Amino acid sequence: MSYSQTSGYGKPMQKLMLTFFFALLVSIGGMLLGTLLPPVARIPLFILELALIVGIMFLRKSKAIGYSLMYAFMAVSGATLQFAISYYIATIGTAVVLETVGVAILVYAGLAIYATYSKEDFRFLGGFLFASLIGLIVLGLIQFFVPFVGVMETVYAGFGLLIFIGYTLYDFSRMSKEGFDEREIPLMVVNIYLDLVNIILFALRFVKSLLDD
């Protein structure tokens, strides 16, 4: 059942955003936990993070399992995010990181509000964004063997940033235009959380590539 055409739509959306808020708190807790972990834990945590995403996708219709997996994912994701933030703090400085993260969050919030409440429909971006994401993943695999430097690094970071700006518009537009079942909230929270995290990470990567030139 779609809530987008009913007067009760506001309640599921309010619940979604409240859940997203608590999920962010859990992620921050995971970041604090990550400061206590050794660097060697990074790869196992990343693998666990991917496994949790798959688990959420398959079990999202079960309310209890969906929420428990979602919060577990947030904690693990926060821990892995901490390793990335620490790297950028060490390479470009705390002040630049804080400014970049702050701007990224403001841009994300602005895009989310616009896509939710404007009459514009960004669902048409779905196919293009998916194809672009596949291309981004392929390029990411290539860089393991041929590291990107200079202009190529800047282009790659900018490409990733644009993709997740697009996904933010797409995800919030889809939720507002199509509505959703409350059982879908755990997966939706993960989707919009990943949009935010990837905007932050690609923004940091983009800024670092500019400073390195």
Helix ranges, the chain (H): 10-34, 42-59, 63-92, 94-117, 126-145, 150-178, 185-212
| Angle (deg, nearest 10), helices 185-212 and 150-178 | 160
- Tokens, residue 174: 């889809």
Size of the chain, expressed as the number of residues it contains: 213
Please state the pTM of the whole predicted model: 0.86
**Residue-by-residue pLDDT tens, the chain, 213 positions:** 344 444 445 677 888 999 999 999 999 999 998 888 888 887 888 788 777 777 776 665 666 667 888 898 899 889 989 988 999 999 999 999 999 999 999 999 999 999 988 888 899 988 889 898 888 888 888 887 888 878 888 999 999 999 999 999 999 999 888 888 888 888 889 889 999 999 999 999 999 999 986
**Cα separation, 212 vs 4, whole angstroms:** 47
